[in-house]
Structure 1
């Protein structure tokens, strides 16, 4: 397993990083799900069917539109 770091700008405009462990680099959508679970644990299982088939990355789109959270980088941990 490899360690990855997901860097994002949170709803306060602060740069934040989260660890991610996986065999491969997470996609933007996988990273967005990890961020949502961290920032909004109660909403982690939110049904995003409103975006289904209309958005390529529904969780990333939801985070940006509703919370101003934007992923800035996904890098391998040193």
Structure 2
């Protein structure tokens, strides 16, 4: 498995990175779920039914709208 670095701006706008292990590059939604688990472990099972099937990346959208977290880059870790 490869390591992927997800770089995102946290709630304070500070660039932060998170390493994910996957065979292929994670999608924005997969990265958003990992970030949500990392930043908000209690909300890991949050019901996003308001966004399900109406947006491409419901978790990424929730993170941006409700927490100000924005994914900037997903790249293979050096």
Q: CA deviation at 1:53?
A: 1.5
- Report the equivalent of 1:35: 35
Q: Deviations over 1:8-60 (max 9, x none)?
A: 00001100000000000000000000000000000011010111121110000
Residues in 2 aligned to 1:73 and 1:47: alpha-carbon distance in whole angstroms: 26
Structure 1 unaligned spans of 5+: none
- Report the equivalent of 1:45: 45
Residues in 2 aligned to 1:75 and 1:32: alpha-carbon distance in whole angstroms: 14
Residues in 2 aligned to 1:68 and 1:22: alpha-carbon distance in whole angstroms: 26
- Report the equivalent of 2:25: 25
Which secondary structure state, in structure 1, belongs to the residue aligned with residue 62 of structure 2? Answer: helix
Which secondary structure state, in structure 2, belongs to the residue aligned with residue 33 of structure 1? Answer: helix
TM-score, with length taken from structure 1: 0.98
TM-score, with length taken from structure 2: 0.98
Structure 2 unaligned spans of 5+: none
- Report the equivalent of 2:57: 57
